[in-house]
């Protein structure tokens, strides 16, 4: 049996060959998605892991193996077209699928020499996961295709999941699922934490019912579906509801309610729509979301996602939402949302994230943790605990990547399941402590009820010998410049909209 490293190496060595033919990482991952599914579906049938074939006969893996040359390329196109018309997971994975490997010899090599030689179903879950996660991460690095916004750093996801402690039987949702990182980490946490103690009913619930994801981009939904499938999550036929669907989460209240919501909404501040006049002129108009369940109407996607998450939580439900800095300090609708959130929910924790950890550069983000409560005249938020993982901390995607151990202190301070035991690490005697609490009245007294809170001295503003290496400083300057340019672009867009009115 091949190790994870060997499989990843084989996958990437062939990816380089296909990139020479003009395929992007996204194209490559997409083609692997199709072929790996067909191979694993056949393996499950041969091993007796399923009572009936998931893939229709003559459109399955054996039908590809027995063909070569132009006949293989033509048949593969027919397979993708036929399966894209099916229901269930098949329809999700193969919807609008196209063959982008035009060289029949390379397609044959990918099928026979790379994929067919592995018994994927027999591989350890971690091996399959490592291989596919490696593909997705490489896809995220292909910034030309803009895929980075769908990939949340896995160490961050793991720490957030550990802090929230998902339980067997809970309903869990990610309304901006991307490639499924939060859903997968939640599933793995429950499986590893409770393991043999899970009843047959609980195992079935975890596989088929516990997880729900919504993704706006159809091609990313496909990647998510395959990522979940490689980990044994989701139905093998079209009789059960797939765990992931393509939809606009902000379009309406779905009616479903969840115990746990974890999400990293797509980066980018404003929602807008392209308008074409009768004369053929193009312009962008702000797309403001109006929903009766929202506290404020806004074109700020992240503000709208925070409101949407609050809606889909059950009373007592827990949430962790990755939000950019503007959600913490923006006035107008931003202030209205923050004040309502502090009143109607228990907003108990804020994790300030470092720069240099996202593939979409120029992002300064945070994780906001809160719990939904029933209606009350008295605010549910008593105090907010803030952990500053940003000030004087430097990461880059190439030379110093974020590791899970970098979040150990945060998880320890968070006290999962025991918030009453939290103790500040900051004090007047320890001014470098990164963990401290702010009472609600302190927050409300701040300008616009801002949650953009920091207290540590920024060493980069002082002349000393403790500055980070030049490449890290350069990377942070690039981050700040890109963030500034993005904000200027948004201002320009707003002004053009006003001018057109």
Specify the CATH number of the domain 4-133.
1.20.1260.30
Q: Where in the chain is the domain with CATH 1.20.1260.30?
A: 4-133
Q: Kind and range of the H or E element at 25?
A: helix 25-46
Q: Where in the chain is the domain with CATH 3.40.50.150?
A: 138-484
Residue 134 near residue 240 (C-beta atoms within 8 A): no
Q: Give the count of beta carbons closer than 10 Å to the beta carbon of residue 301.
A: 23
SS3 content of the chain, % helix, strand, coil (to 5): 50, 15, 40
Query: Which residues lie below 8 Å from residue 484, measured CB to CB, with a gap of 6+?
Result: 362
Q: What is the 3-state secondary structure (H, E, C) of 90-131?
A: HHHHHCCCCCCCCCHHHHHHHHHHHHCCCCHHHCCHHHHHHH
**Cα separations in angstroms, 129 against 2, 35, 121, 135, 300:** 14, 16, 12, 10, 34
Beta strands in 356-419 (DSSP E): 365-372, 383-388
Residue 395 near residue 355 (C-beta atoms within 8 A): yes
CATH class in words for 138-484: alpha beta
Residue 284 near residue 493 (C-beta atoms within 8 A): yes
Q: Give the count of beta carbons closer than 10 Å to the beta carbon of residue 378.
A: 6
Q: What pLDDT is attached to residue 472?
A: 65
pTM for the model = 0.83
pLDDT profile of the chain (501 residues), mean per 10: 64 74 76 85 82 87 95 96 87 88 90 85 63 65 53 90 98 94 95 93 94 91 82 75 92 96 81 42 60 93 95 98 94 96 97 85 87 94 97 83 94 97 96 96 96 89 61 67 64 57 52
CB-hemisphere CA count at 13 Å for 78?
13
């Amino acid at each position: 049996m091949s190790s994870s490293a060997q499989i990843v190496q084989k996958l990437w060595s062939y990816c380089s060959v296909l990139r020479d033919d003009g395929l992007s990482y996204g194209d490559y991952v997409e083609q692997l998605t199709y072929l790996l599914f067909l191979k694993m579906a056949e393996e499950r049938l041969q091993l007796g892991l399923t009572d009936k074939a998931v893939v229709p006969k003559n459109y399955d893996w054996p039908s590809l193996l027995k063909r070569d040359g132009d006949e293989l390329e033509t048949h593969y196109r027919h397979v993708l077209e036929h399966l894209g018309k099916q229901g269930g997971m098949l329809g999700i994975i193969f919807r609008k699928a196209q063959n982008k490997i035009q060289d029949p010899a390379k397609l044959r090599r990918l099928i026979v020499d790379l994929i067919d030689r592995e018994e994927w179903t027999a591989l350890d879950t971690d091996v399959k996961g490592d291989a596919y996660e490696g593909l997705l991460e490489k896809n995220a690095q292909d910034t030309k295709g803009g895929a980075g916004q769908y990939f949340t750093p896995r160490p961050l996801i793991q720490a957030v999941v550990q802090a929230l402690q998902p339980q067997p039987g809970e309903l869990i949702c990610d309304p901006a699922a991307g490639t499924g990182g939060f859903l997968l980490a939640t599933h793995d946490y429950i499986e590893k934490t409770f393991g043999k103690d899970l009843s047959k009913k609980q195992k079935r619930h975890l596989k088929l019912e516990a997880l729900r994801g919504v993704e706006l981009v159809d091609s990313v939904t496909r990647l998510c579906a395959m990522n979940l499938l490689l980990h044994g999550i989701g139905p093998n036929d079209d009789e059960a509801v797939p765990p992931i669907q393509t939809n606009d989460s902000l379009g309406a209240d779905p009616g479903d309610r969840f115990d746990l919501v974890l999400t990293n909404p797509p980066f980018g501040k404003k929602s807008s729509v392209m308008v074409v006049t009768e004369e053929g002129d193009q312009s962008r108009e702000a797309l403001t979301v109006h929903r009766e369940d929202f506290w404020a109407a806004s074109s700020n996607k992240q503000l709208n996602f925070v409101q949407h998450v609050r809606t889909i939580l059950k009373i007592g439900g827990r949430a962790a939402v990755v939000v950019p800095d503007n959600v913490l300090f923006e006035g107008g609708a931003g202030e209205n949302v923050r004040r309502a959130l502090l009143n109607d929910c228990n907003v108990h924790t804020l994790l300030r994230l470092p720069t240099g950890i996202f593939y979409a550069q120029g992002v300064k983000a945070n994780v906001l943790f809160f719990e939904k409560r029933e209606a009350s005249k008295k605010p549910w938020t008593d105090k907010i605990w803030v952990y500053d993982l940003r000030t004087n901390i430097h990461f880059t995607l190439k030379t110093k990547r974020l590791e899970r151990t970098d979040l150990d202190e945060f998880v320890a301070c968070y006290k999962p399941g025991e918030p009453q035991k939290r103790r500040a690490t900051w004090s007047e005697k320890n001014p470098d402590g990164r963990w401290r609490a702010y009472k609600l009245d302190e927050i409300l007294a701040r300008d616009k009820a801002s949650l953009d809170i920091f207290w540590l001295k920024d060493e980069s503003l002082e002349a000393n010998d403790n500055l980070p290496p030049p490449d890290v400083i350069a990377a942070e300057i690039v981050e700040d410049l890109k963030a500034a340019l993005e904000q200027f672009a948004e201002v320009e867009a707003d002004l053009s909209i006003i001018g057109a009115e």
